[in-house]
Amino acid sequence: MRFIINSTALLKGLQSISGVLSSNNTLPILDDFLFEVGETSLKVTSSDLETTMTVELELTKSEETGAIAVPAKILLETLKTFSDIPIIFHIDEDTQLIEISAGDGKYKLTGHKGEEYPKSPELEDTTFISLESAVLANAISKTIFATGNDDLRPVMSGVNCELEPDSITFVATDAHKLVRYRRTDVQAEASASFVLPKKPLNMLKNLLSNDALAVRIEYNQTNALFVFRNFQLICRLIDGKYPNYDAVIPSSNPNKLFIERIPFLNSIKRVAIFANQSTHQIRLKLTGQELILSAEDIDYSNEAKERLNCNYEGDDIEIGFNSKFLLEMLNNLDSDEIRVEMSAPNRAGIILPVNTDSSDEDILMLIMPVMLNS
């Protein structure tokens, strides 16, 4: 088996799917890429059994078709050293010896039999929906930071995707913070909900461009398949029922703070430096049209206080939040001005953008308070 391919195109394709490779594989062959050589194209697969990703690349020339598993690490490191040149792969299918010729160099490594590589799951009884890549990329980046890491509650380590005939909703929560991202310009044929794991979502986020490229999503009870450009990604869904997040979103929030996002964000960054480094607690005190942000670390006698002008409607309130969570939320909003809704110091606060780029976009962020030491 012999084929010629451009080194830069191959490296770029392999790097795109190499994030799937795991460092602690149960099967040694999963440290490899599966190369499936066609007459005009090369299909490369990487897998960790939970997530499988393929990329299709154009070949300059192909003599004989076939499949072989190629050690990923050594191949990637070698390709990184080449300039933009054609490289020739010569594969002996009896011994699995791979010879790579590039310029004046020859490199040999041993692969494994292609048929020993785990097969990609075949999806049956699927439903599909089509999304613009920019919409999907936005939905992932706006929610994925709020997912949890609790092994005892695996559903909360993923993003819940709810499809309705009039909208699509992505929800992530770790019980301390929650993000609900909804689009009303995307419709599904039937109602469905499933929980997508974090790893494949991070892969998608990195590869999806902010354009109007179509992404086809197929799903059934156990797996989801994403098809876009020359990529395919199949992931196993997280099994289990997602918590009823609507129940924790307070409906009555009489105290409303309107403030410019960037000055608020920068103020929190500064004040948080002086907060206790284990609780990250900062205090928000609202009186009249004034917001006082403060933090202290009693162990080191550190203290900070800042005053910001704001537009506030409601009773005077003093409430504590984890500054790390607040910063994550404010960094993931694009609006120039935000609205923070509160009801009481021991009830969740809600952060909403005042102005959004699209009327079809609805985003809500919820943050649980931390108890203040009087």
Domains of the chain (ranges; CATH) run: 2-116 (3.10.150.10), 127-173+185-243 (3.10.150.10), 249-367 (3.10.150.10)
Contacts of residue 120, defined as CB under 8 A and 6 or more positions apart, other chains included, come to 45, 47, 52, 54, 234
- H or E segment to which residue 174 belongs: none
Q: What are 271-310's pLDDT values in tens digits?
A: 999 999 999 999 999 998 999 999 999 999 999 999 999 9
* Residue 367 burial (C-beta neighbours within 10 Å; 0-12, 13-18, 19+): buried
Cross-strand pairs, 294: 283, 305
Instruction: Give the residues of the chain that fall short of pLDDT 50.
Output: none
Cα dihedral 257/263/264/265 (nearest 10): 150
According to the model, what pLDDT value does residue 374 have?
59
CA dihedral in degrees (337, 368, 178, 51; nearest 10)?
A: 130
Burial 104-136 (b: 16+ CB within 10 A, else e): eeeeeeebbebeebeebbeeeeeeebebbbebb
- Residue 72's pLDDT is 97
Q: Which residue has the tokens 């795991």?
A: 22
pLDDT of residue 346: 94
CB atoms < 10 A from the CB of 278, how many? 8
Helix axes 198-207, 133-143, angle to 10 degrees: 130
Angle CA 72–74–76, to nearest 5:
65
Q: Which residues have CB under 8 Å from 347's CB, separation 6+?
A: 250, 369
Q: How far is it, in rounded angstroms, from Cα 369 to Cα 325?
A: 10
Q: Of the candidates 261, 19, 226, 17, which has an alpha carbon nearest to the alpha carbon of residue 140?
A: 226
